[in-house]
Amino acid sequence: MSLASGDLISIRGNQLVSGSGEPLRLRGFCLGGWMCMENFITGFPATESLMRQAVGRAAGTDRAEFFFERLLDQFFGPADAQFLADSGVNAIRIPISYRHFEDDMNPRVLRADGLARLDKAVAASAECGIYSIIDLHAVPGWQNQHWHSDNETHRPLFWRFKDFQDRVIWLWELLADHYKDNPWVAGYNLLNEPADETRAAVGPFYQRLHDAIRAVDRRHLLFVDGNTYATEFDIFSQPWDQTIYTCHDYAQAGLEREGEYPGVTLGRHYDKAIVEAKFLQRSEYARSLGLPLYVGEFGPIYTGNAARDEQLYRLLDDQLAIYRDYEVSWSAWTYKDIGLQGLVFVDPASPYGQAVAPITERKNSLAVDHWGADFDRIADILKPLLDVVLGFEDFDPYPWGAEDWVHTVVPHLLFAQPMVGLYAQIFEGLGEAELAALADSFALANCAVRQPLRDRVLAEAAFDQAGGT
């Protein structure tokens, strides 16, 4: 398929429209764990940066680089794009880390290999009729408190240092100039899940970034996450042209290993009405402006237990029905992983699946991955510490309170970071053929398909193709 440079997606009232003027609902997945790696997606503990350093020490710099480049090649390519198109997907959201585009020791100097890799993904998707949304997921100094911004601490230093912010503006000016005439780029997701505790820096920074991009590219859509992990939009004084205010819509009932849906999870009842009310709260700002709605991330964490997962698919059905009712575009988290959420996932019997299994079990035993962790497994450790922290009655840390703060600092930092070396031991002494076999485990041909999830995406595509009836 080909489009002319003038055929960009745009906003008309409360709808997205294609370059030819037809109403358009974006449906797809995020490419989580690819150009911004995450621990639960590929199996390492802690953060991508710490993991890469440890693997480099264990395997040697050259062989580590060989593995990572091959892994990226196998994780997403033309076959994946075709599979997504055949699954009813018409858009992908591509999380990227700034580290693919510049080096901390050589800032504001473009890494051409990172841009070339992103170009290949955009081109492969375009060949299959799939739009790309470029999502800046990790920035210098970290824009939020958690692992998915590659944060080695629990402090978002991005908001405290202007130089970090200036580097992001430099990067977006470069990306916007590069893609300004590409009609298969739906738009730019400026900053994934910002979390500015002061609520004083994020608004002015967004304005600076908006103005810098618009000086280069006035036509592409901007996808703007609200503060506090895409949940708060009071930082905006008036809407910008060609801008979608993006919420993330994870349902609490879908994030727990145990519970009932519909029914009680963590002592609270959840059903479709509750899920809808939370979505309406999260999307209130965009709806109040009469703008198109877009959910940048959502989706349950699957357990492998058939009965529990059937309940999670029921929750997913309710969310998709809500999105149909409100004509919401969406991208589910995530396309490919080692088994928690992916539309496709690494075969446990593959070389990588077998190699990483002892690591993931050890991680699970200490709940070191914040996403999908069973904190009850380490309650004997956490409860005494939490009791001490809760004793400071005026301590209510941003963003999610004292319990989440302890869950972040203890398992995700104190336990996870020493465990990185265990993961790196997988690569010790391996030659290129063995490293290639590990990386090739992520090739689509070697992965399993989560068919119940794919069936639901196909049904959504059929619904839209039938005119939403």
Q: Given phi > 0 = left and psi -120 to 50 = alpha, else beta, which region is 290?
A: left
- Whether the CB-CB separation of 248 and 266 falls below 8 Å is answered with no
What are the residue numbers of the active site? 193, 297
How far apart are alpha carbons 243 and 207 in whole angstroms?
Answer: 12
Angle at 443 between CA 439 and CA 448, to 5 degrees: 115
6 contacts: CB under 8 Å, gap ≥ 6: 19, 183
DSSP state of 359: H
Distance (Å, whole) CA 64 – CA 45: 17
Q: Which residue is it, tokens 């585009």?
A: 101
Long-range contacts (CB closer than 8 Å, 24 or more residues apart) made by 173-178: 173/212, 173/213, 173/215, 173/216, 174/101, 174/110, 175/134, 176/213, 176/216, 176/217, 176/220, 177/216, 177/217, 178/115
* Burial of 111 from C-beta contacts in 10 A (0-12 / 13-18 / 19+): middle
Nearest to 211 by CA among 178, 182, 241, 189: 241
Query: Please, which residues have CB within 8 angstroms of residue 60's CB and are 6 or more apart in sequence?
Result: none
CB within 8 Å of 201: residues ≥ 6 apart: 159, 160
Q: Which residues contact 90 (CB under 8 A, 6 or more apart)?
A: 24, 26, 27, 28, 129, 130, 131, 461
Which secondary structure element, helix H or strand E, spans residue 293, and what is its range? Answer: strand 293-297
Residue 151 near residue 47 (C-beta atoms within 8 A): yes
Q: Tokens 């299959």, residue?
A: 128
The CA distance from 347 to 447, in Å, is 5
Distance CA 65, CA 205 (A): 34
Nearest-angstrom CA–CA distance, 445 and 78: 12
